[in-house]
Amino acid sequence: MPHLFRTEYRKLVSVLCYLFGIEHIEIAEDIVSDTFLSASESWSIKGIPDNPTAWLYTVAKNKTKNHLKRSNLFEQKLSPDLKHITDKVEELEIDLSEKNISDSQLAMIFAVCNPCISSEAQISLALNLLCGFSAQEIANAFLTNKEVIYKRIQRAKEKLKDENIKIEQPKITEINARLDTVLTALYLLFSEGYYSISHHTVLRRDLCAEAMRLTYLLMENHHTDKPAVSALLSLMCFHSSRFDARIRQNGMMILYDDQDEQLWNKELIEKGIYYLNRASQGSQLTKYHLEAGIAYWHTHKEDTKEKWENILQLYNHLLILEYSPIAALNRTYALAKSNGKEEAIKEAEKLNLADNPFYYSLLGNLYTGLDNQKAVAYYRTALVYTQSDADQSILKKYIEQLLHKVDPLTK
C-alpha cells in the first residue's frame, strides 16, 4: 500500500487537477485520498485484488463521477469540454491512460514551478502533489515541523489560485520563458536529497529519485526535451551513482577520497555519459552542462593532473556563467589539486566568506601538512558554524588526527 500510494497518488492527483483546474486542487486530493481509504478498508477484508492499480483507477473514476453528480462543479466553467456535458456524467471518461497521466504531470510541473511562489514553496508543492510526499515527510526533509510545511503548501496553493495559474500543456513560448524556473526547482529538489542535514537516508534517496523522474518526464516530451534538461539529468545520474559509497550503515557520510569505487553504480555512470553527450546538441551552454562535466570527472577516482585541470577549467567557466560562493570554494579545492596548496590558499583567502563553515573547512584542508596548528584553528572555526551532525563528525575527526600530529600525546 505505501508503494502504491507513492506511485499512484501523484498520477491520480495530476490527472484530476488537470481536469478540474488549479482552483479545485483540494477536491482532487480529497477524491484520491478517499480512494486509498476505500482500498485500505476493502483490501483488509477481501484481500489485495489481482490488479490493485486498475482497482484504484476504477474506484477513483467512480468517486469523481459521484462527486460531480452532487456538486455544481459544471456551472463553474471548469473547461470547454466539461461544461457541455452536465447531464452526461455517466458518459464522462476520466482518462487515466499512460499518455494523459504523463501530459497531466507535465502540465502540473509548469503550474507548480511558477515564479509567483518562492522556490521553497515550489519544492514543497512539487513534493506533495507531484511526488506524493506527506507534509510530515517534507518536514523531515527540511528539518522543520509539519505545521510549517502545511502552511507553506496552503499559501502556495492560494497564491496560484489568486494568480489564476492554468494547469495546461505549456506552449512553446511559455516553455522557453519558464523552463529555467522548472529546472531550478528540480535541481534544488535533487540537491536537498543529495546533500541534506537530515539523517533520513531513505527519504534522501527518494528526493533524488523523484527529481530524476520529473526531469526524465521533461526529456520524454519533445516540447521540453532541451539540451539543458539532458544536462541536468546527466548531473543527477553522476551524483546518484555514488550514493551507495557516500553513506555508512549508521547514516554518516563518507568523503569522496574514502569512498569504495567498487560501490559506484556503473550503469548510472554510463547513463550520465549518454545524457551528457545528448546535451551537447545546440548552442546554449548552461550551468548544468558545466556541473555535469565536473561530476563526470569525479567518476574517475585516480588523482591525475588531467582530471583536476579539466575540473578547474570547468569551474572557471561556471563562475563566469553564474557565480556562487560554493562553486568558488570548490574551484579553489580543484586549484589546490591542480596547482598546489600555496596558490590555492592565496585564492581562498581572497574569498573571505565569514560565517561559512565550508570556507573554514576548506582552509583547514589547505593548511593541513603546511601548518597543522593553523589547520586545526580553521577546522574548529568551521565546527562553530556547522549545523550538520555528519559534517561535525567529520570535522572532529580531522581535528583529532591533526592534534596527534602536532602533539602525539594529545588525546
What is the DSSP annotation of 275-312? Answer: HHHHHTSSS---HHHHHHHHHHHTT--S--HHHHHHHH
> What pLDDT does residue 406 have?
60
Q: What is the pLDDT of residues 321-347, one digit of tens each?
A: 999 888 999 999 999 999 999 999 999
**Grid cell of 60 as nine digits:** 477513483
Dist CA 20 CA 192 (whole Å): 31
Judge whether residue 239 has pLDDT over 60.
yes
Cβ-based neighbours of 385, under 8 Å, separated by 6 or more: 355, 356, 357, 360
pLDDT for the residue numbered 247: 78
For residue 298, which of 335, 264, 348 has the smallest C-alpha distance? 264
- Joined grid coordinates for residue 87: 447531464
Instruction: Quote the pLDDT of residue 410.
Output: 46
User: What is residue 15's predicted lDDT score, i.e. its pLDDT?
Assistant: 92
Q: What is the pLDDT of residues 179-228, one digit of tens each?
A: 998 999 899 888 878 876 554 454 478 888 989 999 999 999 989 999 99
Residue 392, helix vs strand vs coil: helix
Helix (H/G/I), strand (E/B), else coil: 353: coil
Sequence-ordered list of residues with C-beta below 8 angstroms from that of 231, at least 6 positions apart, any chain: 275, 276, 279, 286, 288, 289, 292
Dist. CA 219–CA 106, nearest whole Å: 10
What pLDDT does 295 receive? Answer: 97
Spatial separation of the C-alpha atoms in residues 8 and 109, rounded to whole Å: 16
pLDDT at position 135: 87
- Give percent of the chain above pLDDT 90: 55
Query: 70 in helix, strand or coil?
Result: coil
Q: Would you say 386 and 395 are in contact if contact means Cβ atoms under 8 Å apart?
A: yes
Average pLDDT, rounded, for the chain: 87
Q: Is the pLDDT of residue 36 over 70?
A: yes
Low-confidence winner among 1-10, 224-233, 261-270, 376-385 (lowest mean pLDDT): 1-10
For residue 247, what are the β-bridge partners?
A: 253
- Name 247's Cβ contacts closer than 8 Å, sequence gap at least 6: 201, 253, 254
DSSP 177-196: HHHHHHHHHHHHHHHHHHS-
Tell me the average pLDDT across 87-114. Answer: 81
Return the top range by mean pLDDT from 74-88, 246-260, 388-402. Answer: 388-402
Is 60 exceeded by the pLDDT of residue 47? Answer: yes
What is the residue whose three cell numbers read 489481482? 50
Mean pLDDT value across residues 66-74: 70
* Residue 266 or 92, more confident: 266
Distance between CA atoms of residues 364 and 374, nearest Å: 7
Give the other-Cβ count within 10 Å of 5's Cβ.
Answer: 17
- Report which of residues 292 and 135 the model is more confident about: 292
- Specify the pLDDT at position 199: 45
- The answer on pLDDT for 75 being more than 60 is no
Cell numbers at residue 282, please?
545546440
Confidence grade of residue 78 (pLDDT, cut at 50, 70, 90): low
Q: Indicate left, alpha or beta for 270 from its phi (over 0: left) and psi (-120 to 50: alpha).
A: alpha
Split at pLDDT 50, 70, 90, the class of 74 is low
Segment 91-114 mean pLDDT:
86
Q: Mind listing the pLDDT tens digit for each residue in 124-135?
A: 998 888 888 888
Q: Residue holding cell 456535458? A: 85
**Over residues 58-75, mean pLDDT:** 78
| Distance separating alpha carbons of residues 7 and 16, to the nearest angstrom | 15
Question: What is the predicted pLDDT for the residue at 389?
Answer: 76
CB-CB contact of 119 with 185 (8 Å): yes
pLDDT (tens digit per residue) in 5-23: 878 988 999 999 998 888 8
**Separation of alpha carbons 19 and 116, rounded Å:** 22
Eight-state DSSP code of residue 74: G
pTM of this structure: 0.83
SS3 247: strand
Q: What is the pLDDT of residue 294?
A: 97
Does 81 have pLDDT greater than 60?
A: no
Helix (H, G, I), strand (E, B) or coil at 131: coil
* Residue 201: per-residue pLDDT: 52
Q: What is the pLDDT of residue 92?
A: 60
Q: What is the largest CA-CA distance in the chain?
A: 87
In the three-class reduction of DSSP (H, G, I as helix; E, B as strand; rest coil), residue 253 is classed as strand
Which amino acid would we find at residue 67?
H
- Which pLDDT belongs to residue 202? 47
pLDDT given at position 3: 79
- The grid coordinates listed for 129 are 502533489
